[in-house]
Amino acid sequence: MTLKEWPDIVFQAKRGYKAKVKDFEPFWKENYEKKALKLVEKYTGLQWKRLTNRIKVVARRPEERQKVFAALTDIPRRPDNIFLFDVKSNESLSKDLIHELIHCIIWSTYLWNQTTKTIRLFDDIFADELLSELISQKIYIQLHLSKKMDYRAALQYGFETALEKIADILGVNVDMWKLDKDARKSSAAAKILRKDMLKKLEKWFRGYLRNVERGTTNALKAVNEIANLFSNISENQ
């Protein structure tokens, strides 16, 4: 796939969403598609492979999704399959799709390199989702979909996705864990840990952006860096 041969993104919709997707598709292609695909390459340090020359995006019913996710990528089996669940405005759909395209390029790179990837909770759930959210936010700013980085929201998203996975493994309802707890009610130790993590995360991501533009790192390496960055909570320690 040459630099100018971007993946072809095709859209499908389940019953009830066909009109919305029919409205969203030209909006996305006219305003964001080529810019987003290029920026995903830029900020992941990876290239689109022929494995993803056709990416299928399907809008599905909300009850078919897990609690936390507004969208999902079929990883690691078929990263070229993306599912959208939270069908709201064209702008919010664009943001959801950009986030999933980052997962798509990361996991398709593993498959292209014929790498057998064993999914680990900390590295590939928490760290992968946290990194994808950070890169997404950077792209949103470039596309004028948001104004600034929100490291606290990215950290929360990383934890929520990991919590969702744990709940799925245990077979419990994630609602019972009350994800909407007021952060101000956290223990003193938790507040200190959160502040330390946010400080480390912001400093690290600024360095990552410099290095990925220099070509000295990429998203695959960065997932391991995040695991080491937060080694105090890693399951590998």
200-212 per-position pLDDT tens digit:
999 999 999 999 9
Q: Domain range holding 218?
A: 8-233
- How distant, in Å, are the alpha carbons of 64, 122, 162, 235 from that of 228? 34, 10, 17, 11
The answer to whether position 136 is within a domain reads yes
Handedness of CA 163, 169, 175, 178 (dihedral sign): negative
Instruction: Please state, rounded to an integer, the average pLDDT across all residues of the chain.
Output: 83
Positions of the chain with pLDDT lower than 50, given as ranges: 1-3, 234-237
The answer to whether position 2 is within a domain reads no
The answer to whether position 57 is within a domain reads yes
The answer to whether position 108 is within a domain reads yes
pLDDT in the model for residue 17:
84
pLDDT in the model for residue 120:
63
The answer to whether position 3 is within a domain reads no
The answer to whether position 1 is within a domain reads no
pLDDT in the model for residue 87:
77
pLDDT in the model for residue 218:
96
pLDDT in the model for residue 25:
95
Domain total of the chain: 1
pLDDT in the model for residue 1:
47
pLDDT in the model for residue 141:
97
pLDDT in the model for residue 165:
75
pLDDT in tens, 44-89: 999 997 767 889 998 876 655 555 567 888 877 788 999 998 778 9
The answer to whether position 41 is within a domain reads yes
pLDDT in the model for residue 117:
58
